[in-house]
Structure 1
Amino acid sequence: SSDWEKRTKEIIAIQTEWKTIGFAPQKMNVKIFERFRTACDDFFGRKAEFFNQLKETFKTNADKKRALIEQANALKDSTDWKATADKLIALQKEWKTIGTVPKKIGDQLWDEFLAACNHFFEARNAVNAGQRNEEHANLDKKNEIIEKLKNLTAETCDNVQKEVQKLVEEYNAVGHVPYKEKDKVYEAYHAALDRVYKDLNVSVARKRLSNFKNKLKNVAEQGGSALDNERNRLVRQFETLKSEVQTYENNLGFLNVSSKKGNSLIDEMNRKVQKLKDNMELIREQIKAIDQQNKE
């Protein structure tokens, strides 16, 4: 358009100069003027056509931008953060592909479009900030529960199993933690939980073995094959537990460990396997006690 303005000034200057020139011979004067006027009219006609087309292009571009503004306004209050963010980013990319409009209206349209986009992204950022604060608070809660599990022993608690269940329920009720901390806190929790269960099983096993040894003398006093019968019963029980362990371990091989649910199930099964193995160890000790009693 600047080129058109430059050429227009040149044409007007030529027209002004034309007026300063005297008449040509009468026979030639009209024809020369007609040629000059035709050339000028042709220029101004093409100029008018160009600016009419430009005006139409501006209108088309402005309409396209208004359509994008309308879409952005329809999305700005959405709380579907991920999907809406993707849509608005796509609209922003589309905006850049649209041609120009006059600066005054262009600035106005851009301000409207930007306001709609900013409205959404500022709301999303505020929610994300709140969510991050909540996740850090959840992390503190989970770490506090983990510390309680670490300090939990038969000496510090009358009913360890009941307290463990209470802490497990509290832990499961806590919401999400920061993504970067997720694996770390998960591993710390299950390490503490496994330690408590192991200590609990050992403590129970010791009590059971002690009680068994105390009762063993009474069994021995019955005479006959009482001790052998008890030993055979324990051997059968040991083989049953051994079979259960093998079944669990076979099933563990088929589980999908990629999902959180899969991991939780595996952890639970591993604890069951460990408990079965602890019971097997207890039975071994009970059988040893019988063998020792038979020697006496």
Structure 2
Amino acid sequence: MSSDPWGRVDEQGTVYVRTADGERVVGSWQAGSPDEALAYFKRKYDGLVVEIELLERRVRTTDLAVKDAMTAIEHLRTAVDEAHAVGDLQALGERLDALVALVHKRGEERRERKARAQAEAREAKEQVVAEAERLAESTDWRVAGDRLRALVDTWKGLPRLDRKSDDELWHRFSHARSTFSKRRKSHFASLDAQREDARLRKLKLVAEAEALRDSTDWGATATRYRELMNEWKSAGRAQREAEEELWARFRGAQDVFFQARNAVFAERDAEYRENQTAKEALLVEAEALLPVKDLKAVRAAFRSIGERWEEIGPVPRDARSAVEGRLHAVERAIREAEEAEWRRTNPEARARAAGLTGQLEAAVEQLRQRLEKARAAGNASQVERLERELAGREALLEQARKGLEEFSG
């Protein structure tokens, strides 16, 4: 008979395994020695150990489903309970018990991870929906449209929620996108209508501009072209290609007219250069009258210059402003001298100035007398008040005297 801590072989070749409940027959051996029999059944035991270790590794390192893991454990438990093997079968059972606890723990951890992932996914999808609903009211069509398309990709990358929650959020998301699309479509339809209206309006402006391009009524036609330009600006923009084509025609018609007008004016200006020279000579004569000393003589001389000025005729357009500006400057200086002379010699104004000066002189004298009395009485507050009042009246008197002096200048 051969013996081992976990089993033995009796004289008839029967092999036993020792358990907590006593010995159990696991087989018989007739082909060799008892030691070989024990070695064979130990290898059976080692095979069970390997299977348990493999299952333990799968549970620890993979997301093996609880159901599948428990099925494998029960299969191994049956194999251990009915094992034809020699070894510590109780230890194997305890490892399987520990593995059951580990499976349940891993399952709970997996459920917790799934719950967290679902919560995070819900929050992320709610943020996507909230942003989409804000964008639904945007008028920044390109930026908002691009962002909504990006949000669709974001949504697709997020885990699914429970069906009810996922459907509700998707409905809101889809509604926001649909709202934006309808608003954008309506906007551009309205814009197309406005552009078509602008095209028709500008087509009429082009037709009138082209009808005017050969006109020789230079002043009236130039004015009408300026009016047409203002109408063009207020008409709005047509579609790009139509806008460019209409503008080219509109501008071309104006160019024809203004080039013809400029050619005529250039020829006319060449004829007016002699007039410019003559008027510039008169300007030298007029400017020599300043400053005005003898108003009567200056007035007569300027009247003579004006008569000769009118006889000369027009000057070139590019010189008109400068030439006329110099003459007007002399005219203003003479007019100012006339006004100054009238103010100086106006008897009514002089009388009013003299009367005001006399009144102020009397008022100043009265204030001085009252001030002397207040000082003598030692009334400090009254002295202070009268001094301020006297200073104001004296300043007014000084101004009145200067005004009166102008009448005797």
For residues 192 and 273 of structure 2, what CA distance do their matches in structure 1 show?
60
User: Equivalent residue for 1:15?
Assistant: 74
Q: Which amino acid aligns with 1:197?
A: F
The SS at the match of 2:275 is helix
Note the residue ranges of structure 1 that are not aligned, 5 or more in a row.
213-229, 238-274, 278-296
1:232 aligned partner: 274
1:130-159 CA-to-partner distances (Å, cap 9, x unmatched) read 102211221222122112111124389994
TM-score (norm 1): 0.57
CA distance, structure 1, for counterparts of residue 231 and residue 205 of structure 2:
8
- Asked if the contact 1:149/1:196 (under 8 Å) is kept, the reply is no
Distance 2:278 2:150 in 1: 69
The structure 1 residue matched to 2:160, chosen from 60, 85, 101, is: 101
Give the TM-score normalised by the residue count of structure 2: 0.43
- The correspondence for 1:54, drawn from 114, 123, 143, is 114
Indicate conservation of the 8 Å contact 1:138/1:174, yes or no: yes
Structure (1 or 2) with the greater strand fraction? 2
The separation in 2 between residues aligned to 1:119 and 1:56, in whole angstroms, is 32
Match of 2:188 in 1: 128
Q: Does 1:149 pair with 2:209?
A: yes
Distance of aligned partners of 1:110 and 1:140 in 2 relative to their CA distance in 1, 3 Å threshold: same
Q: Which residues in structure 2 correspond to 1:50-199 (within 5 Å)?
A: 50-92=110-152, 94-95=154-155, 99-102=158-161, 104=163, 105-152=165-212, 153-154=214-215, 159-199=220-260
Seen in structure 2, the aligned counterparts of structure 1 residues 29 and 93 have a Cα distance that, compared at 3 Å, is: closer
Deviations 1:167-203 (A, max 9, x none): 2232221101213343333222211111123345567
Distance 2:245 2:266 in 1: 31
Tell me, in whole angstroms, the C-alpha distance in 1 between the residues paired with 2:278 and 2:239.
Answer: 50
Contact 1:150–1:196, Cα closer than 8 Å, also in 2: no
Quick one: which amino acid aligns to residue 67 of structure 2? T
Q: Distance in 1 between matches of 2:152 and 2:278?
A: 74
Structure showing greater relative contact order (alpha-carbon pairs closer than 8 Å, 6 or more residues apart): 1
| Superposition deviation, residue 115 in structure 1 | 2.2
Larger % of helix: which? 1
Whole-angstrom CA distance in 2 between matches of 1:158 and 1:39 = 106
Q: Distance in 2 between matches of 1:107 and 1:159?
A: 71
Paired positions, count: 218
Cα distance in structure 2, aligned partners of 1:83 and 1:173: 28
* CA shift in 2, pair 1:118/1:231, >3 Å: closer
Q: What is the distance in 2 between the residues matched to 1:161 and 1:50?
A: 85
Contact persistence 2:132–2:177 (CA under 8 A) = yes
Provide the C-alpha distance between the structure 1 equivalents of 2:83 and 2:145, rounded to a whole number of angstroms: 73
8 Å contact kept, 2:209–2:254: yes
Distance 1:191 1:74 in 2: 48
3-state SS of the aligned residue for 2:160?
coil
Q: Which residue of 2 aligns with 1:45?
A: 105
